[in-house]
Amino acid sequence: ALNARLVDAVDRAHDGGDAGAARLRLAWWREAMARIYDGRTPDDPVCRAISVALAAAGGNGIEHMSALVETRERDVEQVTASPLVPPASVQALVDYADGTHGMLMRATAELTSGTAVSGEANRAITQAGIGAGIATVLRGTARHLGQGLLYVPSDVLQQAGMEARDAKRLLGLGPGAVGARSDEPKDKLDEQRRHLIATAVRPLAEQAKNSLRLADARLAALPRTTIGKEALSPDAAARAACLPRVSAGIYLRKLEACGYDPVHPNLLDPKRGVGVPRLELQMRLAYRHLVDGVR
């Protein structure tokens, strides 16, 4: 619920709303985290729920929720920048993925176990967060393009021999966009667009898939123990918190099958789960529950 509130604030800035209002809203959440920790919980249903969960977890998880808020604040600054400023590097995108999905997973693990995440469990969550975060960014490409945003890192664009303004034109933004009026033939633009996709999206998808593989290996090596009827062990909590990696893996396989084209019709069809078919997701989650022993 916290992440949904934060994403809503960022989306308002994305959609051409009042960026100042989005900043104020996120600043309110940053202050709310401090107030919850100090026992001065704001009169808000999400804040009250967080307060109850933190009390049960001995305060574990607040640090990661606060870090999540800070990452979303930086997100607003990036998406409202003019001209368009994509992430500076692949590492910047990795840090963003860990600062959103990774922090959310760590907070979930600590709230459900009541224990700070550390060691191999934390390293597994880091990789799962990076993989799921990058996959989520790629899955949202069509929506981002409609908002005038681009998350392909600058260093990847440079390796492809172009800048952000070229990518905007080729991917469907602004003057000269594919499908819009242009001095160049559409087939030439389509060829350039396919080149951009092959040189930009593919390495990001491979980075995400590699991170998910590392997460799977580290999670498989964790002890399979639980504590009591309510609290999970830190290792079991880490496996449960990392379940979003399942849907990320499905999407990345579908993306590869579509030639790494994030705006391929098969990845945008709601009937196909927008790249993550519901039945396949349910089956793979059931398998993970069986293999990991996650309740």
Question: Given a cut of 50, is residue 287 above it in pLDDT?
Answer: yes
Question: Cis omega (within 30 of 0) on the bond before 83?
Answer: yes
Listed residue (259, 288, 262, 286) closest to 275, CA to CA: 262
Tokens 């990452």 sit on residue? 71
- CB-count exposure of residue 15 (10 Å: 0-12, 13-18, 19+): exposed
pLDDT reported for residue 177: 42
Contacts 24+ apart (CB under 8 A), 17-21: 19/76, 19/80
CA-nearest of 105, 143, 147, 61 to 239 is 105
Q: What confidence tens digit (pLDDT) does each residue in 220-251 have?
A: 888 876 555 556 788 888 998 999 999 999 99
Who's near 43: CB < 8 A, 6+ residues apart?
none
Residue 185 clears pLDDT 70, i.e. is over it = no
pLDDT tens digit sequence for 189-228: 566 666 677 678 889 999 999 999 999 999 988 887 655 5
Q: Which residue has the higher pLDDT, 115 or 213?
A: 213
> What is this structure's pTM?
0.82
Q: Count the residues in the chain.
A: 295
Q: Indicate whether 269 pLDDT > 70.
A: yes
Alpha-carbon span 24 to 270, nearest angstrom: 34
Q: In whole angstroms, give the CA distance from residue 101 to residue 226.
A: 24
Q: Is the pLDDT of residue 69 over 80?
A: yes
The interaxial angle of helices 119-139 and 244-257, nearest 10 deg, is 40
